[in-house]
Chain A
Amino acid sequence: MAAYIARRIGQALLVIWLAYTLVFLAVQLLPNDPVTIFLSADAAASPETIAAMKAQYGYDQPLLVQYFSQLTGLFRGDFGYSLASGQPVADRIGAVVGSTLILASSAFVTAVVFALIVVASATLIRITWLKRLIINLPPLFAAVPVFWLGLVLLQVLSIQLGVMSLFPDGSFASVAVPVFVLAIHVSAPIAQVLLKSTETVYAQPFIDVLRAKGASPSWIFFRHGLKNAAAPAMTISGITVGTLLAGSVITETVFARAGLGQVVLQSVTAQDVALVQGLVLLTATAFVVVNLVVDLIYPLLDPRILKSGTHGAPRALAA
């Protein structure tokens, strides 16, 4: 067990380091340095201004120095400075991230509940047409653009029916609708993977043995099927961190909510590469941490993982 945890943590650190290095290299490969790009919108920027600003943010240092000072900063929670405001990226993001986190986490929980309902009813319902309908819901969810669903709901709920306001006013609808929109989007991949892995599990002989023991369909699903099918769905849930972030930015824009979305849009408009770079690193770190947690939960679901030392076991089910 200890070896498993150590290996997973090592891999997580490796991925963060690789992600940082790749982003650093990508920024170096840009035709100009971040300061020049930032000031390119400003026609009057003199070479002296550029040089001064470069010195201020450390972009005049040798590459290796920049690489290591930023890398060590990473482990102190320092993700660099915004060129537009001069604030630390972490502060800039920290000021607004709360509302986004609430939106994203409630949407994630709702999405998991949606996915569970879809899969449970698709497995347990015996009426063929209804079952087919339910199975086709996740692909439909996956095809609906978040911003479009948001706009259509706004159109219907606030303009046609008048049950919610166009702008956030703290009412239940203005909180619940954005969460719902984002949850639909995020639930699609989770439900699809869970459906597929449930199907794989149900093709296994042990399900027939359970039926032969006299277990009812719901007994089989809730006590055996779900636990067996959970691992791939957990993996995909971990990966939705990126989807959640992009979805949150768009949802916030549609519903005019404050949050990370505004910062993202501003930093892109202002061509603030340093801020975007910080955002990417922050997200990658969040992604890695979430997936590390997922990895550490796996052995509780499937005892075979500790033995094989890889994720091979849940996949071997498909064979």
Chain B
Amino acid sequence: MSIKIDEPLLESVVEPDSPDTAGKTSGANTATEPKQGALRSPALWLTVAPLVVVIGWALFPSLFSGFDPITGVPAHKLQEPSAQHWFGTDHLGRDVFARVVHGTSQTLLTAGLAVLIGLIAGTGLGLLAATAGRAADAVTMRLIDVLLAVPGFLISLIIVTAFEPGPVSLGIGVGIASIASFARVVRSEVLRVRSLDYVEAAFMNGGTYWSVVFKHILPNSCGPVLALLAVDLGVAILAISGLGFLGFGSPPPTPEWGLLIAEGRQYLASAWWLTTLPGAVIVAVVILLAGLGRHLHKIFKF
């Protein structure tokens, strides 16, 4: 068994046919357009701006919400969303928006840890597979198959079972699960760039192994990896909130996005906002990250 697929979100749209496809090199002006266009496009900034706000929530939560996320005002419990409480209040009278804002750092840190593990281990494995010869490639690829064969969900479960539920266990579990995708993208990108004529030419122009790697191979293969970074952050947020929902993340009363929704579940009948609105935030963030991934892929595409 061997598994090879293209990353679902990463490969960008096929370029439209140029007006005259006689297999000749295209003119100069058409080639410059995509890059500058991508940087200037309002769609990119519409994607980036809200994500910057979310990062703001994580770094300076008090700036975005004046309410205390842990202790509520019992008199104000289970209020519907209003101008004062945007996302309403929960059973203890805590402002739900404040809990979402204060929970951001927890969720993002856990997801960040996961992505970092995936990036570092995956890049290492991918580079090894692509540069250390055929035997290393075969062994590494089988290892990646194994990582794919054991669902990340179960890897997280083993770790949570053996240690204790919590963000670090979750981050490690989800991170191990994302190693495979990073390894595959890094491997295929390095293989692609390495076979290009300009890399060979760089050797012929007196480049040493490391100078060529740093001057040509890494800069030209980083685009898809950066894009995967963004997309995978979204995937990790989803996985972590799912495990948080099952109760394997931070214990209450820490605000964490998945836990918020799990807590709201008991009030499904009386307070729809407790589950619906925090969930909508998760959906929005994950979509934005996927969009950012597509933009990054376009910008760094050569």
Contacts and interface: CB of A to CB of B under 8 A. Distances in A.
Contacts of B6: 193, 196-197, 232, 315, 318
B4 A311 contact: yes
Nearest to A208: B17
Contacts of A23: 150, 158
B162 interface: yes
Nearest to A8: B1
Contacts of B290: 139, 142-143
A235 B4 contact: yes
Contact of A196 (B4, B11, B145): B11
A31 B159 CA distance: 11
B1 A284 contact: no
A64 interface: no
A76 to B, nearest CB: 20
Contacts of A202: 14
Interface string B278-298: 010011001100110000000
B282 A145 contact: yes
A15 B283 CA distance: 35
Interface stretch (A53-61, A98-106, A175-183, A242-250): A242-250
The SS class assigned to the A binding surface is helix
Nearest to A30: B162
A157 B219 CA distance: 51
The SS class assigned to the B binding surface is helix
Interface stretch (B36-44, B76-84, B129-137, B268-276): B268-276
A151 B238 contact: no
A299 B283 CA distance: 39
Given A200-B14, A238-B3, A241-B151, A189 B8 contact: yes
A268 B149 contact: no
B9 interface: yes
B71 interface: no
A283 B9 contact: no
A134 interface: no
Interface of A: 8, 11-12, 14-16, 18-19, 22-23, 26-27, 30-32, 37, 139-140, 142-148, 151-152, 154-155, 159, 166, 189, 192-193, 196-197, 199-200, 202-203, 232, 235-236, 238-239, 241-243, 245-246, 249-250, 253, 264-265, 267-268, 271-273, 276-277, 279-280, 283-284, 287-288, 291-292, 295, 310-311, 315, 318
26 contacts: A11-B2, A15-B145, A26-B158, A32-B162, A144-B283, A147-B241, A147-B258, A148-B283, A151-B261, A152-B279, A155-B275, A197-B6, A232-B5, A232-B6, A236-B8, A241-B151, A250-B242, A268-B165, A273-B162, A276-B161, A279-B154, A280-B154, A280-B155, A287-B150, A311-B4, A318-B11
* For the complex of A and B, 8 pairs with smallest distance between CB atoms: A242-B151, A148-B279, A246-B153, A143-B286, A192-B8, A203-B14, A12-B1, A143-B287
Interface of B: 1-6, 8-9, 11, 13-14, 142-143, 145-146, 148-155, 157-158, 160-162, 165, 234, 238-239, 241-242, 245-246, 248, 258, 261-262, 264-265, 268-269, 272, 275-276, 279, 282-283, 286-287, 290-291
Given A159-B272, A242-B151, A273-B161, 13 more contacts: A15-B142, A139-B290, A145-B245, A147-B261, A242-B148, A242-B152, A250-B246, A271-B162, A276-B154, A280-B154, A291-B3, A291-B149, A318-B6
